[in-house]
Amino acid sequence: MLHKFAIALIPMVLAVPSMAADNFPNNPINIIAPFPPGGGTDSMTRLVSKHLAESTGWNVVTENRAGAGGTIGLASAARSTPGGYQLVMGQVDNLAVAPWLYSNLTYDSVKDFAPVINVAGTSIVIVTRTDSPYKTLNDLIKAAKEKPGSIDYASPGAGTITHLAAVLLEQQAGITMQHVPYKGSAPAMADLVGGQVPVMFTSLPSAFGQLKAGSIRPLAVTSEKRSAVLPDVPTVAELGYKDFNVTVWYGLLAPAGTPDAIVQKLNAEMNKVLKLDDMKKAMNAQGAEPLGGSASDFAQTIARDRAMWGPIVKSSGAKTN
């Protein structure tokens, strides 16, 4: 009798996750932007919140929890209740690079999250002033080979993905340049435009305004394919470094343990949002492109990039306590 009762319960138990997804959401969905207002991650999070809310009728809000390169916001999300109501906008820096950079990281970027969707991607762009003697990336590499260590390059900070892209280029091209780390893209860009530093590695959204103004010249983008917003700018791979591929991505995650049915519902709705013309235009205006795909695709991206950046972080010597 007990055996028959247990068998009868099985369909009811299996139905619980599905019922939870059917009723989801019945409370506001909070998305953490792990950086201050006004930056690229904040802008991307607010775009997602706005368009997801408009597309579904859900109540979706953005909350800024900044600090420690985005790791404070990620740690907070990892500790939250896994019900789909607390999400976070992670990126390559705090999911793939931070595990190698921070000795006291309080979350595991693979075990502590349920990836939902890879929202958007962009490239790093190598830029110089318009009056620079470097007309092409090969001009820069040639000069660096002739006088090792004589060329300064700026980045938004030691251990950032932009800094590591430069380290990777140095390794593949067999050159040595002098890294000048800044506390963010804005002061680095100001010094580039002002002539205090000749070259900068930065995310495309951070350079987009100055590129449109014509005050800086793009030498190359670091993605595998040319950027849709800079179609005339070659990739590093095109210029002789065929395996070179560094991209910046932003993706939504839930805490580990979030029911798969809810993750899949969020993924399906976000894929619809990313196909909207208004969303594409808004992202392009920031120098980014919508990505999308399955939750498992995003999980594979995180694992792949985490494995890739470990040895590069080690060779760069960057470390943050």
Element (H, E) at 20: helix 2-22
List Cβ neighbours of 148 (8 Å cut-off, separation of 6 or more). 175, 176
Residue 116: what residue type? V
Instruction: Give the CATH fold of the 123-239 domain.
Output: D-Maltodextrin-Binding Protein; domain 2 (3.40.190)
pTM of the model as a whole: 0.80
| Parallel/antiparallel/unpaired status of strands 60-64 and 29-33 | parallel
Please give the pLDDT value at position 54.
96
**What is the three-class DSSP state of 45?**
helix
**What is the three-class DSSP state of 295?**
helix
Fold match between 2-121+249-316 and 123-239?
Answer: yes
CB of 131 closer than 8 Å to CB of 279: no
Residues in a beta bridge with 127: 200, 218
Can you give the residue ranges of every domain in the chain? 2-121+249-316, 123-239
What number does CATH give the domain 2-121+249-316? 3.40.190.150
Closest C-alpha to 20, from 90, 81, 61: 81
Instruction: Report the C-alpha gap between 101 and 164 in whole angstroms.
Output: 11
pLDDT in tens, the chain (321 residues): 555 545 555 555 454 555 567 889 999 999 999 888 877 788 899 999 999 999 999 999 999 998 887 889 999 999 999 999 999 999 998 999 999 988 889 999 999 999 999 999 999 999 999 999 999 999 999 999 999 999 999 998 888 889 999 999 999 999 999 999 887 788 889 999 999 999 999 988 888 889 989 999 999 999 999 998 899 999 999 999 988 999 899 999 999 999 999 999 999 999 999 999 999 999 988 888 999 999 999 999 999 999 988 888 888 777 775
